[in-house]
Amino acid sequence: MKTVSLAALHTEAGRRDPYPVYAWLHEQGPICQVAQGERYSFVVQGFEAASQVLKDSATFKVAESSAPTGPAHAVFMNSMFFTNAPRHTRMRRMFNHAFTPRRVNGLLLAIERMTGELVEQIAGRDRVDFMAEFAFPLPANVLGELLGVPEVDRSWYRPRALALGALLELGASTQETIAAADTAAQEITPYFAELAAQRRAQPRDDLVSALVQALEADGGALNEEELVANLIVLFNAGFVTTTHLLGNGLTLLMERPEHFTRLRERPELASSYVEEILRFELPTHFSLRWAAANAEVAGVNIPQGSWVLVLLAAANRDPARFAEPDRFDPSRFSAARADQTLSFGAGAHYCLGAALARLEGISGLRALVANFPAIRLAEPAGVPRQLMLRGHEQLWVTTQQDRS
Ligand code: HEM
């Protein structure tokens, strides 16, 4: 087993283009020990090894803490993301109960309608920031509809959600990011507590109403703090990720006109395109686990207590799993074999919103290629700067027909 340094990933250049580091890691094997002095003892980049770690949630647990260091930390620590069985099972059961396939599929018409409205808004524009005017509002409005967050509140929410999300970036927390995340958590928490109280008093046909009803029926399986924390992370996890799926997806298609045209001519391929976009340019590059017991992964002994960095985006480019992994090729997926990547994780913490994200990606990308055959960059796209919630802050495009 090789010992490696992950210092390159923590640099500005490494965050901008981590793929050479991932390719180099694959040459070292599916799992490596990390040099002393870094936060993680092991890094897992091989697809099979990463799947094993994620699926064995009895051995490989998420970071848990009963002593949060501040308001933002407390939100994360009271949510599904950072709890293990049996607490996680209890929370997840409640959310699975309310977040049913029927509810998600029931959003399809609303998603198509919202996509259509956004297409109209950005049509014929010389310069439009695709992120602000399409990629952000689509998932924010879909989640708003799902949860019952009123439309007028959604733009208030965005900067606060971004401030909270910044806390998750690999080794990048500073006093400023922590303070901004704490302020955001202090503002968002009463907002959702009030929303839950309103829905308890006057239920509607939305997820928050379904959750508070399910909770009452279950004799309070989640306390108020857990309910609110989970609503916050659900909203956060649900829109910044999907925002970047849309932004990264449009960028990849604009850079590859042959694919843009192919998707336009064959919209039924949209789900394969979404899978490949996520495999190729994932918004969530990693997950973190610690070993609750001694374990063996790909022949490597992992002592109890070790921290393990699971590089989902590297596993998605494992040459042992994907031929020519650095080539964008949607034909590697058919819709029926959509779970072949680690884009949405695996095991107990598998993404709750995977089906919803896919619906939004399919609807959004189909509408873009169909309505804007000449969409192009109005100014060079910036390079994503983060591994977690990776994507563009702004993406200036023109949607006017080509005048040439
Ligand atoms: C392209 C979009 C998305 C991507 C790439 C993505 C990715 C992921 C990944 C990798 C995990 C697993 C994390 C881990 O194992 O540590 C996860 C979990 C989760 N995701 Fe997503 N996600 C997306 C969209 C969504 C949406 C739309 C929602 C909600 C509506 C959502 C809600 C969640 C929740 C609640 C969890 C935690 C589940 C648990 O811990 O049991 N995600 N997501």
pLDDT, one tens digit per residue, over 117-162 is: 999 999 999 999 999 999 999 998 998 888 888 888 887 887 888 8
Over residues 330-347, the pLDDT tens digits come to: 999 986 666 799 999 999
Distance 349 CA to ligand 1 centre (A): 8
d(CA 404, CA 266): 26
Instruction: Compute the radius of gyration of the chain from its Cα atoms.
Output: 21
User: Around Cβ 41, how many Cβ atoms within 10 Å?
Assistant: 18
Does 249 map to a domain? yes
Cα–Cα–Cα angle for 388, 83, 11, nearest 5°? Answer: 25
pLDDT of amino acid 404: 46
pLDDT of amino acid 101: 86
* Residue 87, amino acid: R
Contact (CB, 8 A) for 46 and 26: yes
Q: Is the dihedral of CA 225, 226, 228, 232 positive or negative?
A: positive
| CATH code, domain carrying 289 | 1.10.630.10
Domain count, the chain: 1
Over residues 363-403, the pLDDT tens digits come to: 999 999 999 999 999 999 988 888 888 999 999 999 998 65
Read off the pLDDT of each residue in 208-226 and give the average, rounded to a whole number: 82
For the Cβ of 234 lying below 6 angstroms from any atom of ligand 1, the answer is yes
Beta strand 3-4 pairing with 31-34? parallel
pLDDT of amino acid 98: 80
Does 403 map to a domain? no
For the Cβ of 83 lying below 6 angstroms from any atom of ligand 1, the answer is no
Contact (CB, 8 A) for 325 and 318: yes
Task: List own/partner pairs for 193-198 with CB under 8 A and 24 or more apart.
Answer: 193/224, 193/228, 195/147, 195/148, 195/149, 195/231, 196/224, 196/227, 196/228, 196/231
Range of the domain at 39: 3-398
Does 404 map to a domain? no
Q: Which atom of ligand 1 is nearest to the CA of 310?
A: 16
The H-or-E segment that residue 43 falls in is strand 42-44
Of 22 and 165, more confident: 22
For the Cβ of 357 lying below 6 angstroms from any atom of ligand 1, the answer is yes
For the Cβ of 284 lying below 6 angstroms from any atom of ligand 1, the answer is yes
d(CA 63, CA 398): 44
Residues 6+ apart with CB under 8 A from 159: 184
Does 348 map to a domain? yes
d(CA 191, CA 199): 13
pLDDT of amino acid 220: 63
Does 353 map to a domain? yes
Distance 248 CA to ligand 1 centre (A): 17
d(CA 101, CA 397): 35
Q: Peptide bond preceding 86: is omega within 30 degrees of 0, i.e. cis? A: yes
Q: Which atom of ligand 1 is nearest to the CA of 361?
A: 1
Distance 234 CA to ligand 1 centre (A): 8
